[in-house]
Amino acid sequence: MCSLDGDVCVVTGACGFLGKTLIRMLLDQEKNLSEIRLVDINVNQELLQSLEESRGEIKLSALEGDIRDSDFVRKACRGATVVFHIASIIDVTDAIDPSEIYGVNVKGTQNLLEASVQENVASFIYTSTVEVMGPNMEGEPVVNGNEDMAYRTHLKSSYSKTKKEAEDQTLGYDGEALPNGGRLATCALRPMYIYGEDCRFLLNHMADGVRNGDVLYRMSLREAKVNPVYVGNVAAAHLQAARCLRDPERREQVAGKFYFVSDDTPHVSYSDFNYVVMSPLGFGIQDRIVVPLRLFYVVCFLWEMACLILRPFRRVVPPINRQLLTLLNTPFSFSYDKAKRELGYAPKYTWQQARSNTTRWLAQQLPKQREKIFTK
């Protein structure tokens, strides 16, 4: 497999959950990189300091700015060879104004693609999401799906719509002619729900459980099985994609395609996954969803209508909507066979390692969560 020797890597969303995991992996596995550029709206100085010991001869550059700023983006891409575009607004409850999400997720991606062409960037890897596939509002299940399957996708949320549009943009730029005579190669990765150290969703669920007497809320039916993926394995898939796009023999096979990214995490519902990683810390879980699922949909509909009526006067967001309830209660899992076959991807971390790392991190956070909740 081709290495990234001498490459200048741009990582957007560098200080986020996946971004910093990928940067650490690059420093660990690609010792002969020329430079890594950490691009984020705010670059965490503590993160930079923590990377100093492992950077070796690799230059680390912090670039603070907004990817909606085309001049900033072009500066970030100048002289780069590969872009890992991870930055996006993740919003599962439609709490953020759609124009804000569109500006970052779609316009920001467009800016990066245009800058990559202008600045002769050879490779562009886009971090997409399984939510560009669904589930649809009918809750049609997928079990061990793949990239070639047909599915009636009806995207409702601003997040899923903008991620799909940005993914299409990225793949549409594959083969774009560069000023130096080369061509841009792109691909997109669609991870499942990503978990691991620094996962804010897990922290939120743990905090809710603490408030509920160390009993986790059940928001998913047991049979609504999905296959979460560990953050370290998603980072490994990004690295493999970059290596393939650099390799002349594999570039044509991978360029212009998207790949689902999962690992060997057991297939469970979202709620049961929370229980698996938190039960060693003394948490229980509710036996049933708080209210019957059909009634829950009615409640969500009423919430949504009330918020719509109030919208001209005040933006109020319901804690859960019908789209999110469908996502939480639809069997929806995908295989990583194609990524294994074409990218050479294999999970770097076993399920046992991923679970242990995640639970250990949650154990470190638990006292802080208790203090925050009970001292208010």
Selection from 95, 349, 322, 64 nearest residue 204 by Cα: 95
- The phi and psi torsions of 251 (rounded to 5 degrees) equal -55, -45
159 counts as catalytic:
yes
Selection from 318, 315, 316 nearest residue 298 by Cα: 318
The Cα-based distances of 135 to 149, 153, 154, 174 in angstroms read 14, 7, 8, 27
Give dist(CA 177, CA 49) in Å, integer: 38
SS (H, E, C) the chain: CCCCCCCEEEEECCCCHHHHHHHHHHHHHCCCCCEEEEEECCCCHHHHHHHHCCCCCCEEEEEECCCCCHHHHHHHHCCCCEEEECCCCCCCCCCCCHHHHHHHHHHHHHHHHHHHHHCCCCEEEEECCHHHCCCCCCCCCEEEECCCCCCCCCCCCHHHHHHHHHHHHHHHCCCCECCCCCECEEEEEEECCEECCCCHHHHHHHHHHHHCCCEECCCCCCCCCECCEEHHHHHHHHHHHHHHHHCHHHHHHHCCCEEEECCCCCCECHHHHHHHHHHHHCCEECCCCCCCHHHHHHHHHHHHHHHHHHCCCCCCCCCCCHHHHHHHCCCEEECCHHHHHHHCCCCCCCHHHHHHHHHHHHHHHHHHHHHHHHCC
Active-site residue identified among 126, 159, 173, 345: 159
Residues with catalytic roles = 159
